Amino acid sequence: IVEPTTTTATTTTTTETEAEWQTYKLCNTCTINYRVNAADATVSFELIHEGEAWVSIAFSETGAMVGSEAVIGTPDGGQVLKYNMVGRWGGGVTPMADEHQTLTDASVEIVGGQTIMRFTKILEEDDEIKIVPGQENTLLLAHGYTDSFPSYHPYRRAFNLPL
């Protein structure tokens, strides 16, 4: 598991129930902005990738792809969905059942050569990996060569994110 290369807290206007946005630069092409929303027990993410490709943030208990749960944004279809990752082939990454598609404020778009995915996820959901505020959580980052999913991902990385 690799630690983020740089950590910078950003300053934004927030209410008493919102935390400030935090920024992690994970590599030369990917930045994650996030904040925990205590009022509704959610976490909001914004992943910015310098390039036009599908992008993914996964939640993991081990740092391995298999057994993790991903949020994948596919610009070619404009979808952001939750996926189970049970194998390292295209058929091993499948959308979760409709009742588990609980993301809010979800979008993916290409703007000025950047792929930007945004979503808000519930911290603790039945039968899913729990996200724990105040602790380091293991996440995975991946992106493809193109904006069409599934396709091979030339970049992938496990990292610990202190929520």
pTM for this prediction = 0.85
Contact by Cβ (8 Å): 161, 6: no
Please report, for residues 66, 88, 109, the alpha-carbon distance to residue 136 in angstroms, rounded to integers and kept in the order given.
20, 25, 29
Check: CB of residue 116 under 8 Å from CB of residue 47: yes
Say whether 98 sits in a helix, a strand or coil: helix
How buried is residue 36: exposed, middle or buried, by Cβ count under 10 Å (0-12/13-18/19+)? middle
- Of 26-30, 42-46, 89-93, 132-136, the range with the highest mean pLDDT is 42-46
In this prediction, residue 1 carries a pLDDT of 57
pLDDT on residue 145: 72
What confidence category does residue 15 fall into, taking pLDDT thresholds of 50, 70 and 90?
very low
